[in-house]
Amino acid sequence: MMNLLEAIDARHAIRAYTDEPVAADTLAALQSDIDACNAESGLHIQMASGLDDAFLGLKTHYGRFKGVHNAIALIGRASGTGDAEGTPVSPAAAALQERVGYYGERLVLRAVQSGLATSWAVLDGAETVPAADAWWTLDDGESVVWVIAFGHGARPGGRRRSKPIEELASVADGTGVDAWPDWFVHGMEAAMAAPTSLSQQPFHFTLNADGSVTAEALDGLFAHVGLGCAKYHFEVGAAPHKVEWRAA
């Protein structure tokens, strides 16, 4: 099994899958990761496998998906998950989106470690699916916030360009990249490989004078989900340094 850094390198958004089933032991391992994420986060993440169409015929916000037989639904209590463009309507909604990104990306990298392909997606109209037709169950006040398709990729993914590190990060004392601590650079390199909606990378990381890190979402589509993904990657890249997050 590849390690997490290798998984960060190997991960690309893959939107077409073969009909080859995911092995039972891989599914069982993923389910126990989901259980751990739910226990830590208070989210209600659920998984379906071996379906004809795990997206239930719903359209995705963008992108063309094919052969999606397996998916993870990131479900949380919606204090309003955002408007149509994904702009959070409240600090609570922003926090939910960031949590979904953080734990969802943790599951993405687990799937990639097992040799699977993945892609994040937004299912338009997931809230309109009758309970009897859905493979997820919603408790009071919950909604399907985002989904992750996974399975055996039908094609390899390609490299994508990233904004330069100087644009995505800075250090409070104003020094240039050459003088940044290795753990911060490695954290940023991992964050730059994280998925963001439309590859917009709407985030900025600042290393504060006391050694803590502040990560902020900027304007962009589903920016807080992408920030959560980037923060998980950052922690993996910065390890064994333990990142101390400081609110903006």
| 164 near ligand FMN (CB under 6 A) | no
Q: Which one, of 245, 203, 199, 247, lies nearest residue 224 by Cα?
A: 203
Cβ atoms 86, 140 nearer than 8 A: no
Q: Please, which residue, 61 or 77, has the CB nearer to ligand FMN?
A: 61
Token pair recorded at residue 4: 């997490």
| 204 near ligand FMN (CB under 6 A) | no
d(CA 127, CA 55): 12
| 237 near ligand FMN (CB under 6 A) | no
Alpha carbon dihedral 214, 218, 220, 225, in 10-degree steps, equals 20
Q: Which one, of 174, 181, 227, 220, lies nearest residue 198 by Cα?
A: 220
Chosen residue from 46, 49, 113, 197 binding ligand FMN by CB under 6 A: 197
| 60 near ligand FMN (CB under 6 A) | yes
Chosen residue from 88, 153, 195, 237 binding ligand FMN by CB under 6 A: 195
d(CA 155, CA 152): 9
Find the part of the chain contacting ligand FMN (CB under 6 A) among 116-124, 134-142, 148-156, 234-242: 116-124
Token pair recorded at residue 8: 């960060």
Chosen residue from 67, 76, 88, 226 binding ligand FMN by CB under 6 A: 226
| 120 near ligand FMN (CB under 6 A) | yes
| 157 near ligand FMN (CB under 6 A) | yes
| 163 near ligand FMN (CB under 6 A) | no
Minimum separation from the CB atom of position 162 to ligand FMN (A) = 9
Q: Please, which residue, 82 or 207, has the CB nearer to ligand FMN?
A: 82
Residues near 181 by beta carbon (within 8 Å), at least 6 away in sequence: 207
d(CA 196, CA 120): 9
Binding site for ligand FMN (CB under 6 A): 12-13, 15, 60-63, 119-122, 146, 157, 160, 195-199, 222, 225-226, 229
